[in-house]
Amino acid sequence: MSRVSDGQVIYRSPAATELLGTAKSSFSHFAQAEDRADFVTALLPDARVDNMRVIGVRANGEHFPADLSARLIDYRGDDVIVSNIEDLTKELAIQAELDRQKDQLFQAEKLSALGEMLAGIAHELNNPLSIIAGNAEILHEELENSPQERRIDKLSQAAQRCIRIVRSFLSLAREEPLDLKSVQISDLVANAVDAVKPDADKAKVSLNVKNTEPCQSILADDVQLTQVIINLLTNGVHAIQDSGVGSSVSIDWTCSGSELIIRVADNGPGISNDIKGRIFDPLFTTKQVGKGTGVGLAYCHRIVTAHNGKIWLEPGNTPGATITCSVPLVEDDQREILPK
């Protein structure tokens, strides 16, 4: 119970004292002065407030989310507030956890449905697209040096892009078994850099291979792991190209202990905190329709995990973004039993 006029506490139950301490003024139970003002404003017209959300202050000074209900009474000639405050900390934590689980379940269901649909569409598109691309290729040769050449060129490039998108959907949807071989990381990186170089050049972004330290071989599916590196490099190039911030994407690796660590870093705009938790989600993209599919990092995650490795975004707000993968190195005794 507290007085409206000056906030002075007239009575406090033992439970309230345990939660809020023994301050003389009820003002100090509110973390924000506006909360108390809003509370009184809401209370005065009807002499009641039910379930108002405020931020309370615990006996030890900590803030907590609270639910506040009150009645205004006349007590010995004074306007007095009789209020009931409930600590919502646990309830909100449980609610947040439930929401998270529901979200995850929803996400998983959505993905499996989407995955099936995408795989179906991609499958259907694959053949006609190959025909378009193939014929464009033939026409290109036939029309060389003619005025139509540029148009055919564009047609061909667009068809190739569609084919790449369709393939990326297919590879995400269908879990191809790993075809493991003993491979050298330097070879994979060289192939990936070759693949990304034309796009990087066009975007005036330099690709730097920072490290050529020879490493022990790894047991990996070379095609799929190369694709992982291509995706990471491409993301760096796109981020720089789209934002106009930054100029280079670099890749380096170290083989210390039993792990190969591969890092792809760019000096682009970086990844903002509010999307950090979602970049590995399938179909999450911030890019325009046609440019991003949101499949890249989800694919990387799946492939690296299938190699018993890990992939993560480096924390911290250094300029640009750095994605690191770790993959186990092949033990010496394992190496002898590997197929040549």
Q: Which is nearer to ligand ADP, 10 or 165 (CB)?
A: 165
Q: How many CB atoms lie within 10 A of CB 221?
A: 19
CB closer to ligand ADP out of 24 and 164: 164
Among 284, 303, 304, 326, binds ligand ADP (CB under 6 A): 284
77's tokens = 């000639």
Residues 252-271 vs ligand ADP: string with x where CB under 6 A?
--------------x-xx-x
Residue (of 153, 240, 159, 156) closest to 196 by Cα position:
240
Residue 235 is a binding residue for ligand ADP (CB under 6 A): yes
Q: Quick check: 300 and 312 in contact, CB under 8 A?
A: no
Q: Would you put residue 100 in left (φ > 0), alpha (ψ -120 to 50) or beta? A: alpha
Binding segment for Mg ion (CB under 5 A), chosen from 2-10, 98-106, 154-162, 289-297, is: 289-297
Name the one range near ligand ADP by CB under 6 A: 171-179, 216-224, 254-262, 278-286. 278-286
> Where does this chain touch ligand ADP (CB under 6 A) — which range of 154-162, 219-227, 233-241, 329-337?
233-241
Report d(CA 255, CA 214) in Å as an integer: 9
* Chain position whose Cβ is nearest to ligand ADP: 296
The binder of 266, among ligand ADP, Mg ion, none, by C-beta within 5 to 8 A per type, is: ligand ADP
Considering CB distances under 5 to 8 angstroms, the limit depending on partner class, which of Mg ion, ligand ADP, none binds residue 309?
none
* Residue 235 binds Mg ion, judged by CB under 5 A: yes
The one among 287, 306, 324, 328 contacting ligand ADP by CB under 6 A: 287
Select from Mg ion, ligand ADP, none the partner in contact with residue 239, using the beta carbon and a kind-dependent cut-off of 5 to 8 Å: ligand ADP
Which CB sits closer to ligand ADP, 7 or 268?
268
Q: Is 26 in the site for Mg ion (CB under 5 A)?
A: no
Q: Residue 320, interface with Mg ion (CB under 5 A)?
A: no
Q: Which is nearer to ligand ADP, 155 or 232 (CB)?
A: 232
Binding residues vs ligand ADP (CB under 6 A): 231, 235-236, 239, 266, 268-269, 271, 279, 284-287, 292-298, 321
